[in-house]
Structure 1
């Protein structure tokens, strides 16, 4: 391919497609490189927090799903619920979200090229990768980003701090409109309604977590799914913890999980990724890639600090006290939930 573009996006997940849509909305030419066929699935909680919905609406995307009114933390007989202030969120099957973003990208004329990026070269005027030349390149290729590796922006992570996720769906009506988070000694189980007759259960925990054994440790949840056939295959993701030395190198910028990731424990990767995509494309439009590092830090600061703090507590002797503390201090719990949700 000899045509030049304003920006190449590597990775057609939700954040990569959002970046491509942002580019087209500004009149920029964009090509997306992705080896997988749509709709792309991923093991995740599938809950879009209240702040994600207006960000998607701004892109012209409104995926179907199930309303979410708040979050419920549960451990043994202790339970604390918090309803979102203002507009609620939405549980959306990841394949539905991806299809909606893909349709919007196609409507705006985004070129999606089937392929992989195994090398890249950049100079003072542009970047060449996957046979495509562009003024800028965005690495939106996920937790195991090839672009991050090629630019040598990776930082090592201690193996003992890494956590993983497992997700499966069940055909059953949700019990309500809350995201239920069950805390056990080793895992957190996220129960997210994604349809009137479909519920996703995601387990977050250490490497080697067994979904069925973890489910059995939550009797009330195990009883709800007993006798029901899974509506999807078991899918895994991780390790979650990914670190970077920087989020950009010359004309290459990392967005979404590729730019570094803390953990899925607070559940709002999509909203943060959308903010990163917008910031990166604004920098492309302004021809000012040096600004991206500051914007990335500013737009992800609260998410990184709160998530890191919660993960640290979850991996310490304080774990058993997280839900009781939240129940004893509902105002603090609600403030944290609302800050992460908006």
Structure 2
């Protein structure tokens, strides 16, 4: 019998598969999409994520960045927080996923072009995609079909506007070795250095408007620095970003990455948490103690959930939202400490 089925061949699923193979488990990944798999995201890996991927034997491609700069979209005032434990990495999502796929293949992980349909389980095994295994890890994304099929999705709170992510690449050399986060009163724009002649821009917003309109209306100075996008450089979108789950464990099914529940991309921690949680999920599977994973996930994600929720709370109050960057500039030590808390 297969030890571990993984639903989803994105970074969270492949990190789980690599952890499992390194732990001596027989792992099969179910992923209907061909490699490389793209996704709308900021594409900036925090130092903790870079370190954890390298511990798995994955060389992360891309361009180093050395901290975070918050920029007020109205006044241009800024605050910088530099990393204290090595650089992060701006890496295209397709290149990261391809690197993880190569490492998984080196370790003998099989990837089958199937969906994890009709999840069935009892006290000894779980079945999906026509296969049977001891455990299933669902890493099938923000709108996880496995989470929905098991009845674990929780409706978003009423009255809170949904937020979405939009991303586009530009053929321009990065002008900074930091990730810039430009703040407007109702959205943010993330500028990530990706290569010698490529910069990524991601917008997080609750506005229903095209990408170019968002930039022109809310970040005119940033928009003026960007050349026309290269031919074929379309806009990718994702959302609503906030997704809630009743639990991270359901019998012999464990949830990793966005499928485990998601607050927002505002703090850029998604992949750091995903690869760390993948290791904890494999540890619990190997020990045959899946029930321990819920507590482990909550401990790993606590700082992310608290800080992200606090920033979103401030974001929802226009007076406070306008003070985030000025306050960070006035308290550089506090801002740098928060940046490094998220960078671990």
Shorter chain as denominator, the TM-score bin is over 0.9
SS in 1 for 2:200: strand
The TM-score normalised by the length of structure 1 is 0.97
Alignment partner, residue 250 of structure 2: 249
Show CA shifts across 1:55-90 (max 9, x none). 001110012111101111001221111111121111
Question: What corresponds to 1:30 in structure 2?
Answer: 27
Partner of 1:170: 170
The equivalent of 1:326 in structure 2 is 328
Deviation of 1:181 after TM superposition, in Å, equals 0.7
Does the CA contact (< 8 Å) of 1:18 and 1:101 recur in 2? yes
- Give 1:117 deviation, angstroms: 2.0
Q: Which residue of 2 aligns with 1:98?
A: 97
Q: Which residue of 1 aligns with 2:85?
A: 86
Q: Look up the SS of the partner of 1:293 in the other structure.
A: helix
Quick check: 1:280 aligned with 2:277?
Answer: no
**Contact 2:170/2:227 (8 A) holds in 1:** no
Q: For 1:3-82, what aligned pairs fall within 5 Å after superposition? A: 4-75=1-72, 76-82=75-81
Q: Output aligned runs, 1:196-215, within 5 Å.
A: 196-215=196-215
Structure 1's unaligned 5+ residue stretches are none
Contact 1:169 1:231 in 2 (8 A): no
- Partner Cα distance (1:279, 1:38) in 2: 26
Cα deviation, 1:101-122, whole Å, max 9, x if unaligned, reads: 0000011110111111221110
TM-score, length of structure 2 as denominator length: 0.96
State the partner residue of 1:271. 272
**Are the counterparts in 2 of residues 63 and 97 from structure 1 also a CA contact under 8 Å?**
yes
Question: Is the CA contact 1:170–1:231 (under 8 Å) kept in the aligned structure 2?
Answer: no
What is the RMSD computed on CA atoms of the aligned residues? 1.2
Q: How many residues align?
A: 339
| Displacement of 1:311 | 1.0
The match for 2:109 is 110
Take 2:130 and 2:176, find their aligned partners in 1: how far apart are those partners?
Answer: 49
Gaps (5+ residues) in structure 2?
Answer: none
Query: How big is the shift at 1:226?
Result: 3.8
The Cα of 1:132 is off from its aligned counterpart by 0.6
